[in-house]
Amino acid sequence: MFEHDFLALFPEIFLINATIILLIYGVVFSTSKKYDYPPLVRNVGWLGLLSVLITILLVAVGSPLAVANLVYNNLIIDNFTYFCQIFLLLSTASTMVMCLDYFKQESLNAFESIVLILLSTCSMLFMISAYDLIAMYLAIELQSLCFYVIAASKRDSEFSTEAGLKYFILGAFSSGILLFGCSMIYGFTGVTNFEELAKIFTGYEITLFGAQSSGIFMGILFIAVGFLFKITAVPFHMWAPDVYEGSPTIVTAFFSIAPKISILANMLRVFIYSFYDPTWQQLFFFCSIASMILGALAAMAQNKVKRLLAYSSIGHVGYLLIGFSCGTIEGIQSLLIGIFIYVLMTVNVFAIVLALRQNRFKYIADLGALAKTNPILAITLSITMFSYAGIPPLAGFCSKFYLFFAALGCGAYLLALIGVVTSVISCFYYIRFVKIMYFDTPKTWVLYKPMDREKSLLLAITVFFITFFFLYPSPLFLVTHQMALCLCL
Amino acid sequence: MELIFQNVWFVPLFPFLASILLGIGLFFFPNSIKKFRRLSSFISIMFLNIAMLLSFHFFWQQITGSPIHRYLWSWVLYKNFVLEIGYLLDPLTSIMLVLVTTVAVMVMIYSDSYMFYDEGYIKFFCYLSLFTASMLGLVLSPNLIQVYIFWELVGMCSYLLIGFWFTRPSAANACQKAFVTNRIGDFGLLLGILGFYWITGSFDFQQLSKRFFELLSYNQINLVFATLCALFLFLGPVAKSAQFPLHIWLPDAMEGPTPISALIHAATMVAAGIFLVARMFPLFQMLPFVMSIISWTGAITALLGATIALAQKDLKKGLAYSTMSQLGYMMLALGIGSYKAGLFHLITHAYSKALLFLGSGSVIHSMEPIVGYHPNKSQNMIFMGGLRQYMPITAITFLFGTLSLCGIPPFACFWSKDEILVNSWLHFPILGSIAFFTAGLTAFYMFRIYFLTFEGDFRGHFFDDVKKLSSISIWGSLEFNKEQFKLDKKSTLYPKEANNIMLFPLIILTIPTVFIGFIGILFDENKMNVDSLSYWLTLSINSFNYSNSEKFLEFLFNAIPSVSIAFFGILIAFYLYGPNFSFLKKEKKKLQLKSEIDIVLKSFSNFIYNWSYYRAYIDGFYSSFFIKGLRFLIKIVSFIDRWIIDGIINGIGIFSFFGGESLKYIEGGRISSYLFFIIFCMFLFFLYSYII
């Protein structure tokens, strides 16, 4: 029995081993006098990228059609996890690509960040395939612990340490809430496995007044709040702008890309597969509306790029939650398409943000006259911003279109309406980038260093997908449809 | 044989190719193509000649009794919606093909010389070819959709050509006016097409009328709706053929080069509306109310055009109003059901009017060096007079055209117009009397134009003294003291006859002007002949059974009143404007003695003059009522847009901006407040669920 489990878990096991070996390698060599204390960051970065790529291969080798419950029903592998894991690993790999040059530029000689990224990736893999409340909680905790450390990885920066500390305290709080919810569920039902919970909840009326059900309801509420905190949905978003702004840019990029995938995957597993009930849908409904509105409004007054992107990601979480609160197959499918496109765009934007460095690229106004100094980069950023704003025929438009369509399909007209209105409002600050790049002449011209080849490759790929997604979207449709079916059936 | 029939589309293709060639050349090699001016005009004339020969061939085939040829190719197939394109070759089509191509060839040859010194010579030929091609396409169309496409193309070309001298503000305004006015008609046409599609489910002419007939006989049609659709459809021809409410663009369209006036605004484009009504005739015939609307529109237009034409100073504008009046005749003929007479008049009028316009172009061309290039001067008949001495060929051809238009036998328009008069008289006496009166007016104003232009003394040298001249009434007393203006004979210029290239089309066009009327009457006489025009045109509409059973003598007898009123008109014109013979002067003096009559006459003439000068007050009415009303409406809408709709948007913008600013400060960065907020929100959720 266990041999099959090990075979199925081989990618995760490989990644853990690789991470540990890398850690040992780094520790041994960076402290060795013989080699003159090499910083090793770039080296470890490449090796980490390599191990992630190998993990992708290992995951991909496994058949997508197999469904297996592993380790005493604690983990599951099916279509949904298969594609989600591949996608997560790909996005991690892209972050790794981005960070190759970063540490050297920042003279941040901490190869441990890369190790921690790898470790959190591993925990996220487990999160995606978690099939039990305990496994889920453990995976989330491992991921969060890694994140707290990475956020504070730039130890000499006040902002970074502040961000790390804030993240830690608030994160610990939310983990407590989450754990409390889990324990309540366990206390009132006696099971922690998702499948059995699903069995209990089918045909089960969750109301506050039923004798045994009020506890279950509160448990679900607490779990939901915990998740909403992790995914930075309004009104539990307060930490996000501070943490995103304070932590090093590469960490911000990582935070706004990878955990979104894993947490949404886990949320889908919990709330669609296990606790499917109209009651909590309302909760997500409100959170979705609030996130969209706040994302649109708050970003408008921001001058700092990273803070703006944080609000933009909050807004996008709001759009994604539209699909979530629909609860239909179309909703889930549109959510998955939406997150795919969101990740593409975010990777692109952060690659640009990381590429533009003279001393720093902190304020939006620093982009002035980028169209003259760096025309190709300006076009790339404009395309991405138009896509963020949802201008057809770019990918961002498609994602929003499917989400609103799903909302209309299940009768949530208010969601669609607010989605459209807020995306119009959000056009303002997205297109402001374009305006600044093309029409503003700054007082002091900022000349940026040329970017490295890896990042430009990344940019090229993402821009290609963003621009030409509308031509051939059917493979993504097929995949997401299968994933959605996996959860709903 | 079949092969050639299948290739009818070559006819519009050739001019289209020419225009494409020239267009590409102008677009890509603007400098080098200017060296090949003559060559490019030669190409377009050549291609059009081929088209003309082809259409002669088809015409001959149709005369010798070939069947109606129809070729369809399905263009859009969607479920049960089928859109076909193709062509329809029947007698009406073939005769229109011949008409359009011959006039166009003549106009092209003419414009080679007329436009020779113009900068846009090649562009002109390009537009001209495109226009001819689209007109030919329109004529060949088998269904309403295709008609609509070519209809728009024709409209666009007319816009381009009217505004050909777009640097002149009046031309720019005129082309816009023409375009906008035509848009109104086109919109109605589109509505009508769609309405009929809704009723019958077909765009095809033949199917349409057949289905409509079936539906009508089974009483499955809302007659009011059908009438409404037909009226909408009729709005298209009303605009294009310059019928009464939408005629205002035609006189202004004279701002275009004169060959264009000849081609578009006399012979072909304005005929498109008549053509469409003729095509849809079987359908209109089933709706008596629509028929009476058509006939009354025609009658009003005829009368209006004739009365406005009475006192025009501008040579071309006078001809333009005459065109409008003649188009009214055609519409009238169609409306009272004499299909053949209407089309016959269309053909005869086209040649005569083309001749007249080309003649006027020749006059203008020769006047321009003397009086200046502004149309107010070079086209002003006040400055002309006595041109017959200087340009005899133009004068004689112009006289032929004038005689034809007045309805003097044996010229072309006599036959057709007489038929219309007789038929309208038979149909409804009021219409008949209007037509009859208009015929008199036609003779009067046509000869007024002729006399003012070609007879008397040349007045072109007084153009400097515009102030003095303007005091001279255009009514009657044109004689003035020659001694008053002492002329230095040696230094003055006199108009010259146009060159041979320009004269050639004039002379050629004289032939149909004189003789084409005979085809109608000769074929009428011997009914045994299968290819009589009446039989032949009625063939294309089977449901129509009008037959002209008059004998020739009876015809002549009928013609006496119409001819006599024409002569009466000519006499008045001669009396007022003719060369001053002594006995007439005496008569005039006698007349002037009778002061009471004189006053009455003067007030009447002033009234007519003002009526004509202000274009029957219709333009003023439109501008004061529609345009100002629309402006007022626009102001209201723009106010709503600016203050209410924009206000909402701006309000949202300001609100969201302040929202953003305030949200920026809410995020204070204190962890304890964050935690409090989280707990608070959780509590709210809890409370909310509790309430539900």
CB–CB of A242 and B669 under 8 A?
A: yes
CA gap B92, B4 in Å, rounded: 18
Task: Please tell me which residue of chain A has the smallest CA distance to B690.
Answer: A208
Q: What is the pLDDT of residue B244?
A: 80
Token readout for A137 is 């909680």
Token readout for B259 is 């060959």
Name the 3-class secondary structure at A412: coil
Residues of chain B with Cβ-Cβ distance to A286 below 8 Å are 685, 688
Task: Please tell me which residue of chain A has the smallest CA distance to B656.
Answer: A297
Q: Does A422 touch chain B (CB under 8 A)?
A: no
Report, in this order, helix, strand and coil percent for chain A, each rounded to 5: 75, 0, 20
Q: Which residues pair with B84 in a beta bridge?
A: B74
CB–CB of B661 and A242 under 8 A?
A: no
Distance of CA A287 to the CA centre of its chain: 17
Cis peptide before A475, with omega less than 30 degrees from 0?
no
CA gap A442, B442 in Å, rounded: 75
Cα torsion B331, B333, B338, B340: sign: negative
Residues of chain A with Cβ-Cβ distance to B660 below 8 Å are 297-302
Residues of chain B with Cβ-Cβ distance to A298 below 8 Å are 659-660, 663-664, 667
B579 pLDDT band (50/70/90 cuts)?
A: low
Residue B240 Cα, gap to closest chain A Cα (Å): 40
Q: Which residues pair with B314 in a beta bridge?
A: B380
Residue B172 has pLDDT above 70, yes or no: yes
CA gap B203, B145 in Å, rounded: 7
Q: What are phi and psi of B380, to 5 degrees?
A: -80, 125
Among residues A179, A116, A115, the alpha carbon closest in space to that of A147 is found at A116
Cβ neighbourhood burial of A480 (10 Å; 0-12, 13-18, 19+): buried
Q: Does A207 touch chain B (CB under 8 A)?
A: no
Greatest mean pLDDT range, A271-280, A388-397, B395-404: A388-397
Q: What is the pLDDT of residue B18?
A: 84
**Which residue in the set A225, A286, A299 is minimally distant from B682, CB to CB?**
A225
Q: How far apart are the first and last CA of chain B?
A: 85
B521 pLDDT band (50/70/90 cuts)?
A: low
Tell me the pLDDT tens digit for each residue of A298-323. 888 888 888 899 999 999 999 999 98
Residues of chain B with Cβ-Cβ distance to A279 below 8 Å are 689, 692
Interface test with A, best of B662, B685, B688 (most A CBs within 10 A): B685
Residue A15 has pLDDT above 90, yes or no: yes
Amino acid at B588: K
Residues of chain B with Cβ-Cβ distance to A425 below 8 Å are 652, 656
Q: What is the pLDDT of residue A93?
A: 94
What are the start-end ranges of the H helices in A356-473? 370-373, 375-389, 395-409, 413-439, 453-468
Q: What is the pLDDT of residue A387?
A: 93
Cβ neighbourhood burial of A481 (10 Å; 0-12, 13-18, 19+): middle
Q: Which residues of B75-106 are buried (b: 16+ CB within 10 A; e: fewer)?
A: eeeeeeeeebbbbbbbbbbbbbbbbbbbbbbb
CA gap A420, A412 in Å, rounded: 13
What is the mean predicted confidence (pLDDT) over B128-148? 86
Among residues B412, B120, B452, the alpha carbon closest in space to that of B259 is found at B120
**Which residue in the set B667, B674, B688 is minimally distant from A170, CB to CB?**
B674
Residues of chain A with Cβ-Cβ distance to B656 below 8 Å are 296-297, 300, 425, 428
B692 pLDDT band (50/70/90 cuts)?
A: low
**Which residue in the set B653, B664, B690 is minimally distant from A298, CB to CB?**
B664
Name the 3-class secondary structure at A363: strand
Tell me the pLDDT tens digit for each residue of A338-384. 999 999 999 999 999 888 875 566 788 888 888 888 888 899 999 99
Kind plus residue range of the DSSP H or E element containing B139: helix B121-140
A419 pLDDT band (50/70/90 cuts)?
A: very high
| Least confident stretch, A79-88, A399-408, B131-140 | B131-140
What is the mean predicted confidence (pLDDT) over B486-505? 65
Among residues B82, B167, B154, the alpha carbon closest in space to that of B119 is found at B167
B468 pLDDT band (50/70/90 cuts)?
A: very low
Q: Does A303 touch chain B (CB under 8 A)?
A: no
Residues of chain A with Cβ-Cβ distance to B661 below 8 Å are 301
CA gap A297, A317 in Å, rounded: 14
Tell me the pLDDT tens digit for each residue of B286-303. 888 888 888 888 888 888
**Which residue in the set A238, A283, A302 is minimally distant from B685, CB to CB?**
A283
Cβ neighbourhood burial of B673 (10 Å; 0-12, 13-18, 19+): middle
Q: How far apart are the first and last CA of chain A?
A: 26
The CA-based dihedral angle spanning residues B225, B228, B234, B238, taken in that order and rounded to the nearest 10 degrees? -170
CA gap B16, A378 in Å, rounded: 45
Q: Does A229 touch chain B (CB under 8 A)?
A: yes
Token readout for B473 is 């009434």
CA gap B2, B22 in Å, rounded: 32
What is the mean predicted confidence (pLDDT) over A255-263? 92
CA gap B565, B437 in Å, rounded: 8
Greatest mean pLDDT range, A201-215, B115-129, B175-189, B383-397: B175-189
Token readout for B229 is 């659709």
Q: Does A242 touch chain B (CB under 8 A)?
A: yes
Residue A443 Cα, gap to closest chain B Cα (Å): 25
Among residues B189, B174, B295, B280, the alpha carbon closest in space to that of B240 is found at B189
Residues of chain A with Cβ-Cβ distance to B677 below 8 Å are 235, 238
Amino acid at A449: K
**Which residue in the set A169, A241, A297 is minimally distant from B660, CB to CB?**
A297
Residue B252 has a CB neighbour count (10 Å cut-off) of: 22
ipTM above threshold 0.90: no
CA gap A449, A467 in Å, rounded: 26
Tell me how far CA of residue A298 lies from CA of A429, B659, B661, in angstroms: 10, 7, 7
Are A244 and A309 spatial neighbours (Cβ–Cβ below 8 Å)?
Answer: yes
Cα torsion B233, B235, B238, B243: sign: positive
pTM higher than 0.90, yes or no?
A: no
| Least confident stretch, A419-428, B101-110, B620-629 | B620-629
Task: Please tell me which residue of chain B has the smallest CA distance to A246.
Answer: B669
Distance of CA B405 to the CA centre of its chain: 17
Residue B290 has a CB neighbour count (10 Å cut-off) of: 22
Tell me the pLDDT tens digit for each residue of B607-663. 777 777 776 677 777 777 878 888 888 888 888 888 888 888 888 778 877 877 777
CA gap B56, B82 in Å, rounded: 33
Cβ neighbourhood burial of B365 (10 Å; 0-12, 13-18, 19+): buried
Among residues B411, B372, B410, B397, the alpha carbon closest in space to that of B454 is found at B397
**Which residue in the set A166, A217, A296 is minimally distant from B671, CB to CB?**
A166
Residue that is written with structure tokens 């469409």 in the block: B276
